[in-house]
Amino acid sequence: MRRFVSWAAAVLGLAAVVLVLALGLGVLPIPGARLAGVLFGAGDSTFALVLWQLRLPRFVAGLMAGAALGAAGCLLQAALRNDLADPGLLGVSSGASLVIACVVVMNLPVPPGLLPALAMAGGLLAGLVILAASRAVRDPVQMILIGAALASLFGALILFVIVLGTGLQIQIVYAYLIGTLAGRGWADVLRMAPWLGGSLVVAAALVRPLGLLQLGDEVAEGLGLRVVRTRMLAMVVAIALTAPVVATCGPIGFVALVAPHLARAALRTGAIAQVLPLSAAIGALLLATADLAARWVVMPAELPVGLVATAIGAPAAVLLLRRHARMAASA
């Protein structure tokens, strides 16, 4: 528990540093000493506008999306007892993206508030296949291959939709498919908030059953746990956490894979009650930092945050895969 408290404090502290940098850096730099003054009305109103309407909501959106992904990854890994599970690698994000690509290309008259729900429907489609396969397939590596097949199936359908589009729409869809936080504002934050809040409440209730599940299906069943129902519920919550992120920022990869691993390594335990919140916090910190880098590296232009996440996350995933193969070989 003391490890948890000290790590949580460390993550919060780092997040505060990133907050100051994210608010201060940009085409219009604001020195740290003046930040507080500008935030609370003193000085130039242009600065206040940039801070309150552009940089702060974008930072908050990044934190929320990262937290949702970190929690979703942790839930998926616990539910499937597969430490390689990740909404991107399992095809869930692709399913959700397909729906959004349809909406963009076909100009469907969908109110933005409904987008997360639609994305969730697409994600659930992939989740159902994964859930069905999880009864037959125990091997984590096989599971990821099934996810890769699902992702390429949805990828083909996304291409199908893209072919129907015009030049500009195609560029929008591709930019979206990399994942970006550019131009995300308070409206997006408000749209994601209820989904996150609701999902996290259910996730808190799932902590105990998921802990039992880690003992193995048979033991958990012997202790009176409804295994299939728990697994299904955890996956639905994970998808409900992923869907609003995909709907607002695109399928940002690898955060959900890496955050739980970092949390487990920091805590030196797999106890869900501690890993879940720390994983969410680390996910938030990772994505906010990645977005800061994405804005800063090629200033005054910027990179999509999804590219930065991939640049950091893909090598991390390679390391995880190699470690997994090594442990599987020695087991």
Partner 1 sequence: MIPGGMTRRRSVAWMVGGLLGLMLAFGVHVAFGTVPIDPLRVVKALAQMPDSRADYDIVWNLRTPRALVVLGAGAMLGLAGALLQAITRNPLAEPGLMGVSGGAVLAIVVAIVAQSKLDGLGIVRDTGLALGLVGIAGGMAAGTLTYVLSWRQGSDPALLVLIGVLVAGGTAALASMVLLVADENQVRLVLHWMIGSANGRVWAHWHMMWPLGLAGLALGLGCAGLANALQLGDPVAAGLGVSVERTRLLLLFVAAVLTSGAVSVVGAIGFVGLMGPHLARQMVGTDARRLFPFSVLVSAGLLLLADIAARLFPLGWLAGLTGLALPGRSGMPMGVATPLLGAPFFLYLLLRRRRQA
Which residues contribute to the site for partner 1 (CB under 8 A)?
Answer: 89, 106-107, 133, 136-137, 139, 141-142, 144-146, 148-150, 152-153, 155-157, 159-160, 162-164, 167-168, 170-171, 174-175, 177-178, 253, 303-304, 306-307, 310, 314, 317-318, 321-322, 325-326, 329
- Which of residues 17 and 327 has its CB atom nearest to partner 1 in the complex? 327
- Which of residues 208 and 322 has its CB atom nearest to partner 1 in the complex? 322
Q: Does residue 300 have a cis peptide bond before it, meaning omega lies within 30 degrees of 0? A: yes
Q: For residues 233 and 212, what is the distance between their CA atoms, to the nearest angstrom?
A: 14
SS3 51: helix
- Which of residues 12 and 328 has its CB atom nearest to partner 1 in the complex? 328
Question: In the complex, what is the shortest distance from the CB of residue 222 to partner 1, in angstroms, rounded to a whole number?
Answer: 26
Question: In the complex, what is the shortest distance from the CB of residue 312 to partner 1, in angstroms, rounded to a whole number?
Answer: 12
Residue type, 327: M
Q: Which two tokens stand for residue 43?
A: 């000085």
- Which of residues 116 and 250 has its CB atom nearest to partner 1 in the complex? 250
Question: In the complex, what is the shortest distance from the CB of residue 200 to partner 1, in angstroms, rounded to a whole number?
Answer: 29
The alpha-helical segments, DSSP class H, found in 81-139 are: 92-105, 115-136
Question: In the complex, what is the shortest distance from the CB of residue 125 to partner 1, in angstroms, rounded to a whole number?
Answer: 14
User: With contact defined as beta carbons under 8 Å apart, do 253 and 313 qualify?
Assistant: yes
- Which of residues 35 and 128 has its CB atom nearest to partner 1 in the complex? 128
The alpha-helical segments, DSSP class H, found in 137-271 are: 140-163, 167-178, 186-213, 217-222, 227-249, 255-267
- Which of residues 271 and 320 has its CB atom nearest to partner 1 in the complex? 320
User: With contact defined as beta carbons under 8 Å apart, do 294 and 302 qualify?
Assistant: yes
Q: At 64, which helix (H) or strand (E)?
A: helix 56-80
Question: In the complex, what is the shortest distance from the CB of residue 148 to partner 1, in angstroms, rounded to a whole number?
Answer: 5
Length of the chain (residues): 331
Q: Report in angstroms the alpha-carbon separations of 99 from 9, 152, 307.
A: 38, 15, 21
Residue type, 221: E
- Which of residues 1 and 108 has its CB atom nearest to partner 1 in the complex? 108
Q: Which two tokens stand for residue 188?
A: 């997006």
SS3 110: coil
Q: Which two tokens stand for residue 168?
A: 């500009």
Question: In the complex, what is the shortest distance from the CB of residue 3 to partner 1, in angstroms, rounded to a whole number?
Answer: 31
- Which of residues 21 and 170 has its CB atom nearest to partner 1 in the complex? 170
Q: Report in angstroms the alpha-carbon separations of 124 from 120, 129, 160.
A: 6, 9, 20
Q: Which two tokens stand for residue 201?
A: 């409440």
Question: In the complex, what is the shortest distance from the CB of residue 7 to partner 1, in angstroms, rounded to a whole number?
Answer: 28
Question: In the complex, what is the shortest distance from the CB of residue 11 to partner 1, in angstroms, rounded to a whole number?
Answer: 27
